[in-house]
Amino acid sequence: MVRLLGISGSLRAASYNTGLLRAAQAFASDALTIDAATLHGIPLYDGDVEARDGIPAAVEALKAQILAADGLLLVTPEYNNGIPGVFKNAIDWLSRPGSGIPALFGDRPVAVIGASLGGFGTILSQTAWLPVLRTLGCRQWAGGRLLVSRAGQAFGEDGTLQDDKVRAQLGTFVQDFAAHIRETR
């Protein structure tokens, strides 16, 4: 059994990336579970707050979810050609204290996908994740790529993935990532 934790990098209720994560969860099976995590409740990182109050409860809860997972699926929007601030902020909190980085991220398989209204999908955001994941010591899976461009056409008004071609690509991506994790344990 492979257990993935998907994290949507958007706070919007009608986020295409949260819809993409929900669509990925449809590929769960007896051999694969895909849990979803939220970034809601994670405050802006402030070293003074950390020193005074410690790690926020929402961050500790997300850490526990990551530790329970065999791999991470980062579902990233692209804001101004890069990683959304709220997503990077969550990773900054998760990396505190620095002594916990190896247990949380070290050699953890991570895959990145995303959806965007633009014609290039989330190619720049996904690329911007590479140095962050490398710094944290993650094992970034590069066996596939999923960039959903023109997301407004791929998703219905209710936020569900409507595009059969994208759904098939997503299924292949998720299954291949899970197979990679099984093979490299």
Beta bridge partners of 72: 5, 110
Domains of the chain as residue ranges with CATH: 2-183 (3.40.50.360)
The Cα-based distances of 23 to 29, 44, 162, 164 in angstroms read 13, 29, 10, 11
pLDDT digits (tens, 9 = 90+) for 114-129: 999 999 999 999 999 9
Closest by CA to 4, choosing from 173, 149, 164, is 173
What's the whole-number average pLDDT of the chain?
97
| pLDDT on residue 128 | 98
